[in-house]
Copies of this chain bind each other. A is one copy, B any other.
């Protein structure tokens, strides 16, 4: 399919969704996030040849929140390799993103790197032996490199808001710490965690950053491997299995693409070998995933024939 055809489909979808009123609820548990305009909608697709098709607010930055976990997982695998899997599992949890029950039944080892507990454990691994500022710098440099955009930064107000009110994450981190799953001081690890979740990016920037997962681990700009092809596949697999918390089955069923959502309303999705996609609509469904974002991806996957399931 040509780049112009892709752009036409993207525009169509944005147009169709513009008038939808069933947009779900904007996340309010992080007070700063609640201020966003509920009607925002952006969609950006980068195809395998590097062509971008965008629509709506595709260049407006939003809080990527848990989408950052795809990139911290990638970084941590680069540092620790398979050692990482001693501290975090890779199975769907069957529970909400912030559940602590599973930790008690499984000795402090989080089920996967995309539930909050797992992502905190991954951040702890990146931090290992460094100052929070250094670790955060490394994460930010990685994001800028992947997106090929040095303007990407952190929304300090969002980070501070989480730091003040993120009691549930403090509970998860202290719980893991009691089992020795975290190595660094809880405040250090959570400091980095809250900040990388507060990275602000546009759909276009996110789709750019996800290209290596659609291209067997290679950064198409440079042609160099960001990760080996095997690892790119595996990250895609974890995204499909665990990327939408307790709505992962639903996303696989309807969209059929590896994806990772954030409570800021963004979703990064990958059509392996074909395209990197980012969508943003702040209203969430009961499982904490962007309602229109999922719908947009369902339409896109269908119309482009991109489902990995046939």
Contacts and interface: CB of A to CB of B under 8 A. Distances in A.
Interface of A: 89-95, 99-105, 111-112, 167-168, 170-175, 177-178, 186, 213-214, 216-217, 229, 232-234, 236-238, 240-242, 246-250, 252-253, 256, 258, 270, 272-273, 307-310
A282 B99 CA distance: 35
B186 A178 contact: no
B258 A309 contact: yes
Nearest to A242: B249
B174 A91 contact: no
Contact of A168 (B99, B101, B175, B309): B175
Interface SS of chain A? helix
Contact of A310 (B167, B171, B272): B272
A92 B249 contact: yes
A178 B169 CA distance: 9
13 contacts: A90-B249, A90-B253, A91-B248, A170-B170, A170-B174, A171-B172, A171-B173, A216-B310, A229-B310, A233-B307, A236-B309, A241-B249, A308-B308
B94 A310 contact: no
B99 A104 contact: yes
Given A91-B92, A170-B174, 11 more contacts: A89-B249, A90-B253, A91-B248, A100-B104, A167-B174, A167-B175, A168-B174, A174-B174, A214-B310, A238-B249, A241-B252
A34 to B, nearest CB: 17
A188 to B, nearest CB: 14
Nearest to A169: B174
B250 A91 contact: yes
Contacts of A310: 213-214, 216-217, 229, 232-233, 236, 270, 272-273
A223 to B, nearest CB: 16
B89 A94 contact: no
A102 B104 CA distance: 11
B171 A112 contact: no
Contacts of A174: 167-168, 170-171, 174
Given A167-B178, A168-B178, A92 B92 contact: yes
Given A172-B171, A174-B167, A253 B272 contact: no
Nearest to A302: B230
A237 B216 contact: no
Contacts of A246: 91
